[in-house]
Structures are given as structure tokens and as C-alpha cells.
Structure 1
Amino acid sequence: MAMQTSLQDEAKDDHLLLWILVWSELIAFGILIFGFLVVSTFDAQAFELARLHLRPGIAGANTLILLVSGYFVAVAMRNRLALQTVKRPLTIAALLGFCFVAVKLFEYWGEVRYAHDATLDTFFELYFIITGFHLLHVFFGAIALLLVAWRPARENLILIATLWHVIDLVWLVIFPILYLA
């Protein structure tokens, strides 16, 4: 009985750490996005001009890629009682994550030349910080998805699924603010 209580307490601690991580990520991205919005109000004309150099169609395709990857993570979570069945959907989600990274790098390749324009540099500095920080999360999240697919455990599945959905959620906030506002 004491052993079972100890395991339950440990599981509660794991969930607490997970939610501390989730909220710290949301706060970090929230501060970056809030800063972007504040600066954009002071230099609205330059930000509007800079947005003309973005490619919202590519970013929209990346949004779809992340949403589909999130679907496959949800499929894995639905099948978590039979751990052997989570490998394929997690691997697909990870590959889609790497696809997001490749598409984003292609997008950067077309945008980086505008970052040196004195009129647009503030926008693009913030743009590359926010999207680059998100890109790193996607890249390392995709690696974590592959690791969990390779050696699935329910606790790790819950952890990576939660984090992956947070990464999706953050992008769903970033996309309209940076590309469509």
C-alpha cells in the first residue's frame, strides 16, 4: 500500500513538472508575442511594409503540416494502452515536424535578405527570434517524438503529446499575428 501511494505521489510530481514546463513555455512565447505587438504599434507603417515580404501561403501550409502532425500525436494518445500501436503515428508526426522545419528554412531563405533593410530590420529581428525559437521547439520536439516512438512508455507519451500540442497551439497564435494582422 505504501509503495502504491509513493508511485502515485511520484506521478503527481511528474505532472506538476510537466505543467511547470508547459506554462513556462507559454509565458516565454507570450512575452515574445506581446513584445512584438507593442513594438508593432509604435512602428505600424514599417511592420505593415515588412509583412508584404512574408509568404503567408507557405506559413499556411506549415500550419496545416503542424495540425496534421498533431492529429497523429492524438491518434497515438488514443492508442496508448497498446504501446506497440503508437510507434507509427508518432513517427509520422515526427516526420511532419521535420517537414515543417524544412519548409520554414526554405521560407527563411527567401526572407533573410529583407532583414538587412534599415526600415524593416526591427520587424525581421523580432520575426526571426519568435519563429526561430518556435522552429527549435519543433525540431527538438520531432526528435523527442522519434525517441518515444522507438521506446514507447505511457509517461513519455503523455509528456511529448502535451508538449507537441503546446507547440501547435503556440504556432496557431504566432501565425495570424505575424502573417495576417
Structure 2
Amino acid sequence: MRAHPVVGSVLPTPRDGRRLPGVEGVWAFVFADMTVFAVMFASFMIDRHENPALFEASRQALSLDFGAVNTLILLTSSMFVVLAIDALKHAHPRLAPVFFALALTCGLAFIVSKTLEYMAKFDAGISMLTNDFFMYYFIMTGMHLGHVVVGNVILAVLWFKSRSVSASGGNLTVYESGATYWHMVDLLWICLFPLLYLVR
């Protein structure tokens, strides 16, 4: 009878290690989504170049504190997702749902923080109709917030699935696909934060 090698990880990984994490379709979506945002970023910069005084005055109306806190929240959430995937890869399945829950908590905190920031703008009489800067601000951050909401649903699903993972095996691709989407959401914010809050 042929002996089977002992696998050290809780979930199977490719032998050569040379592949993108997750399924190819997720990466196609990520590329398309990033392209859409890149076009909006370019349009924003062109309009900013044409109306520097208006865009700078509007930028100063944003709360840098909110922007920085939101950035920290999403970076922390990405760290927890990385730790969750690492736990699944290295035979620590009981830690994975803990890290996914922490990542989900950060995602929910971002939604609360962004909602409070929007409410502050509305209370100040600022909306997407105020000027071109705030049109871009509400459209781009609103689209990103929609991505965060979807990402939270994905994290909740991964948390639920990871609770039932046993040392006998599972499918790492599902977790990697969800993690890839969440990291894209974080990357989009890392681009949005300096573009809207910092660039003078």
C-alpha cells in the first residue's frame, strides 16, 4: 500500500506555489473595478488642475481625522484577514474565525465612521451638488462604501465557513478569493485618502 505524505496545513495549497490566490474570475473583477476607479481618479485630477482654488478650498472642508481613522481601520482589517488566511494555511483553524470576526468588526466600524462623516457634511449644508469637488467626493467614497458593505458580507460568510473548518481539509481558494476582494477595497481607500484629503 502506498504511503501518503503528511500535509502540514489545514487546507490544501498548490505544490508549485505559483498561482494567484483565489479564483481567476475575482482577479478579472478586481482589474475591471480598479480600471473604473483609475478613470475617475484621472478625471478628478484633470478637473482639479483646471480649478485648483475651488478644489483646495473644498479639500480643507474635509476632516483629516476621519480620513486617517478610516485608513487605520481598513489597514487593521486587512492585517486580520492576512492572519486568518495564515491560520488556515498553518493548521490553526480555531484562530481563523477569531481573525475574520475582528476584520468584520473593523469593516463595520468603517461604515459607522463614514456614515458619521457624511452626516457632518450634510449638517454643514454640503452635498454632491455643492461643487465639482464634492461631486467627486460623494461619488467615489460612496462607491467605495458600497464595496465595503459587500466586503463585510463576504467577511461574514468567511467567518461562518471558517468555524466549521477541520484539520481534515477544506478549500483555501474560497478564503483567498474573499481576501483578495477585501484587500482591493483597502487598496482603493489607500488611493482615495491622499487624493481627496491630502493632495494640495
Task: Give the aligned residue type for 2:57.
Answer: L
In the alignment of these two chains, the number of paired residues is: 169
CA distance in 1 between partners of 2:60 and 2:88 (Å): 44
Instruction: Return the structure number with greater helix share.
Output: 1
Identity %: 30
What one-letter code is carried by the residue in structure 1 that aligns with 2:133? F
Gaps of 5+ in 1: 1-7
Question: Within the alignment, does 1:18 sit opposite 2:26 as a pair?
Answer: yes
Structure 2 match to 1:145 = 155
Q: Distance in 2 between matches of 1:104 and 1:142?
A: 14
Residue 145 of structure 1 aligns to which amino acid in structure 2?
L
Task: Verify: 1:161 aligned to 2:179, yes or no.
Answer: yes
Measure, in 2, the Cα distance between the counterparts of 1:167 and 1:28: 13
1:85 aligns with 2:95: yes
Secondary structure of 1:53's aligned partner:
coil
* SS of the residue 2:126 aligns to: helix
- 1:160-179 equivalence runs, <5 A: 160-179=178-197
**CA shift digits 1:119-178 (9 cap, x unpaired):** x42111110000010111111101110111101342221001111111111111110010
Deviations 1:74-102 (A, max 9, x none): 10111123444311111110110010011
CA RMSD of aligned residues (A): 1.9
Higher relative contact order (CA 8 A, sep 6+): 2
| Structure 2 equivalent of residue 59 of structure 1 | 67
**C-alpha contact 2:128 2:137 (8 A) present in aligned 1:** no
- Aligned partners of 1:116 and 1:27: how far apart in 2? 23
Instruction: Report the Cα offset of residue 55 of structure 1.
Output: 0.2
Unaligned 5+ residue runs, structure 2? 1-13, 163-170
Task: Show the counterpart of 1:72.
Answer: 80
Q: What's the CA shift string for 1:9-29, capped at 9, x where partnerless?
A: xx99x7321210110111111
8 Å Cα contact 1:53-1:114 kept in structure 2 = no
- Partner secondary structure for residue 41 of structure 2: helix
Paired residues of 2:128 and 2:138 also in contact (CA < 8 A)? no
| TM-score, normalization by structure 2 | 0.79
Residue 116 of structure 1, CA deviation:
6.8
TM-score of the two chains, using structure 1 as the length reference: 0.87
Matched, 1:114 2:126: yes
Secondary structure at the aligned position of 2:69 is classed as helix
Task: Provide the rounded CA distance (Å) in 1 between the counterparts of 2:181 and 2:88.
Answer: 16
Which runs of structure 1 show a deviation greater than 6 angstroms over 4 or more consecutive aligned residues?
A: none
Aligned-partner Cα distance in 2 for 1:67–1:16? 24
Q: Which has the larger radius of gyration?
A: 2
Q: 95, 114, 117: which is aligned to 1:104? A: 114
